[in-house]
Structure 1
Amino acid sequence: MANDTLEGNRHRGVPRQGASPHTLIDAIQGTLADFLAAQIGSLDSIDPALGRFARTARDLVHAGGKRLRPVFAYWGWRGSAGPDAPVEPVLPAFAALELMHTFALIHDDVMDESDTRRGRPTAHRIFAGQHENDGSIGDPQRFGSSAAILIGDLCLVWADQLLARSEAPPTVRACYDRMRVEAIAGQYLDILGENQPGAWSVDRALLVARHKTASYTVQRPLQLGLALTGAAQSETEQAYGSYGLAVGEAFQLRDDLLGVYGDPAITGKPAGDDLRTGKPTALLMLARKLATPAQRAELTLDPAGAVNPADGSGGPTDARTEGGFTQAQIERRAGIIAETGAPARLEAMIQERVADGVAALAQAPIHEEARAALIELAVRVTHRPA
């Protein structure tokens, strides 16, 4: 099966040397498509319902996305492997990162009760809709959440299977496992913060960003790519670690800003979701730190999750959103955050981290093509509109 997967991708223009972003992503997409087709066939042969289940997972994997994790892993590998090393043997490892990412997104959406992702219904909403359309008994929302958790679990198992198809030394698995533990640890801290907002701070929000986002988005994919070469290069690994941590944090800080001020038509998610849930992002923590007492009072949630405006206005209950906020309240909170100067301060923090990341690569013993690509990526992923 592994040979079939790689052979199928050769017809998709797998890059043997330095790849353009589109060519590389096409190769990763091809690897995923071939792998998922076989998995769907296997489950479909057991029961048609499982085939439908697996096809939903496939559609979620292919539902857009920037494929950043495989791209960072590729350039981490190319930086050490050089421009002439064939990429086919390591493509499964790169594609596995996208399956892990899908697992993380699906579970995150269940925990946040998000309605959309990448402009489409989230996994639990898809399954709830299937439940209703099929005329099934029971609670469609409960069914949707249960099925989505299983889809996420399946994607994580698939990631393991696909990683095993690459020609990988043992150090790759160690890096991969560390990345998974860090992502789960960061996610737990994230939900803990939502339930203990009074105990949170800017520093703790940044700690969440390092583990939930920076680790598995930039830092560990780069180091995994390096590990795929089989070379012991501590200086390069250290440079990738510093770059990955800085750029990964900047990536999350941009995400915090987009979560409040992004255009839903571009981001694919409703604006204000973080404000609706009271998620203690670095943006919100910084705003509270910079706020006047009156502003801080408006940014504070009561124990039931409802905002306490200084003027006492709450709006009629039937005008509230599912999370307990009216749209006007969400917009008001976004305005207050802007008034504190927190968004401008966060922009400065992003710039500082990008500069730190680029500086970390300056003396790294990597091929110049990879250095240039990683510098360009640092700017592109931290100044994105979605």
Structure 2
Amino acid sequence: MTTPLDDSTFRERVEHELRAVAAAQRIRLGDIAAPLVELVDAASGFVAGGKLLRPLFCFAGWQVAGGDRDDPRIARAAAAFEWLQGSALVHDDLMDGSDTRRGRPSVHRAFEAQHRDEERAGDAAAFGSQTAILLGDLLLSWADEQIRRVPEAPDWRLTNALRFWDLAKTEVIAGQFLDVLAQTKRELSVEDAMRVVRFKAATYTIERPLHVGAALAGGDDALLDGLTRLAVPLGEAFQLRDDVLGVFGDSVATGKPTGDDLREGKRTVLVARAAERLGPDRILSLLGRDDGVEELAAVIESSGARADVEADISRLEDDADEALETLGEEAVRILTPLARAATRRDR
């Protein structure tokens, strides 16, 4: 029987929803001024070709709560998470100074290059940064419009789902700030790094998509609580896998240069685990330096910190599996493939 992970119809519906919103915005903003069409095209192009992981978890929550897998309304709501993800990534790339995303220039770098190529007046880097801020905000606005295009659901269901949706937006910004704050500290703490993991990635990647889908299908509080018990460890394992791939992954697969997290000075759990083993001084002496990436990656590997994080991932997977078992056989069937795809991946 088909699961959310291999449901091609659902994927096609989500992609259709994304295209439909972009087409409507192209007309709306194009009527204001022709250059705005370029902004719309950049925004819609940025989310194209994504893994749709968050919409898939939303779809899974819907099904676990008894929603009809063939109901097109869930694709309309779930697509909102792809716009939200796009907004977070555009801003994240700008704050981190990342040059690429998914194997292409990041938004601020693309507009910076365009400014130079067209020999425009003013500062090219500033133009790229300013445009990325606006484009990220635009994607967030579209995310809100997208999820509110589900008027057919009974009012109480949509209202409850929007409560979780609003939490997702607040939590991801909270996580982003905690990430920025962590980079100003002289100490390296696993506890602090895990707090960033929880709010910057885990909640809006897995927990809130599950909640929104389940709430739209009329899931009760007991189910929503059970989904949280599953989602928290699974979301943390997802982000820890991301951290490992950021240092040791194949850049062709990930679409970002290997070692970017180290180059950007990220206080990840991987880095904090290395500091636990070796002390912070050596780690901090290499962290955030272009010329320190290879040496720091080797130190993390040889210190056993990478193995520590792999053990963390395995422990969290076990916790998630245990929580999943309490949700029943149908939930296990629906969610197990998605859970594995979240934590056992190469990109």
Q: Are 2:309 and 1:346 equivalent residues in the alignment?
A: yes
Letter in 1 for 2:264: T
Q: 1:31 aligns with which of 17, 27, 32?
A: 17
Query: Using the alignment, how far apart are the partners of 1:325 and 1:114 within structure 2?
Result: 13
Q: Distance in 2 between matches of 1:141 and 1:100?
A: 25
Distance 2:10 2:74 in 1: 12
Match of 1:171 in 2: 160
Q: 1:330 aligns with which of 286, 293, 297?
A: 293
Say which one has the larger Rg: 1
Deviations 1:4-46 (A, max 9, x none): xxxxxxxxxxxxx865333322211111111111111111121
Q: 1:30 to 1:113 in 2, by over 3 A?
A: same
**Superposed displacement of residue 120, structure 1:** 0.6
Find 2:266's aligned residue among 279, 285, 297.
279
Runs of 4+ more than 6 Å apart: none
Give the letter for the 2:255 counterpart: G
Q: 3-state DSSP class of the match of 1:265?
A: helix
The answer to whether the aligner puts 1:107 opposite 2:95 as a matched pair is no
**Residue 267 of structure 1 corresponds to which residue in structure 2?**
254
Q: Give the C-alpha shift of residue 134 in structure 1.
A: 2.2
Distance 2:281 2:213 in 1: 47
Higher helix residue share: 2
Q: Does 1:226 align with 2:239?
A: no
Scaled by the length of structure 2, the TM-score of the pair is: 0.94
Distance in 1 of aligned mates of 2:3 and 2:314: 28
Report deviation, 1:85: 5.3
Give 1:79's match in structure 2, choosing from 61, 64, 78: 64
Letter in 2 for 1:192: L
Q: In structure 2, what is the equivalent of residue 204 of structure 1? A: 192
1:216 equivalent to 2:200? Answer no
Distance 1:297 1:196, change over 3 A: closer
User: CA–CA distance in 1 between the matches of 2:113 and 2:55?
Assistant: 32
**Which one of the candidate residues 54, 79, 82 is aligned to 1:69?**
54
In structure 2, what is the equivalent of residue 194 of structure 1?
A: 183
Does the CA contact (< 8 Å) of 1:79 and 1:371 recur in 2?
no
Deviation at 1:275, TM superposition (A): 1.0
Distance 2:289 2:325 in 1: 49
Amino acid at match of 1:359: E
Counterpart CA distance in 2 for 1:164 and 1:297 is: 50
For residues 196-243 of structure 1, the C-alpha deviation after alignment (integer angstroms, 9 at most, x for no partner) is 142x40011001100000000001110111111134x12211111011
Residue number in structure 1 paired with 2:123: 139
1:375 and 2:336 equivalent? yes
Mapping 1:299-318, distance limit 5 Å: 299-301=283-285, 307=286
Partners of 2:13 and 2:72 within 8 A in 1:
no
Q: State percent identity of aligned pairs.
A: 39
Aligned position for 1:360: 323
Unaligned runs of 5+ in 1: 1-16, 302-306, 309-322
Corresponding residue to 2:35 among 49, 59, 63 = 49
TM, length-normalised to structure 1: 0.85
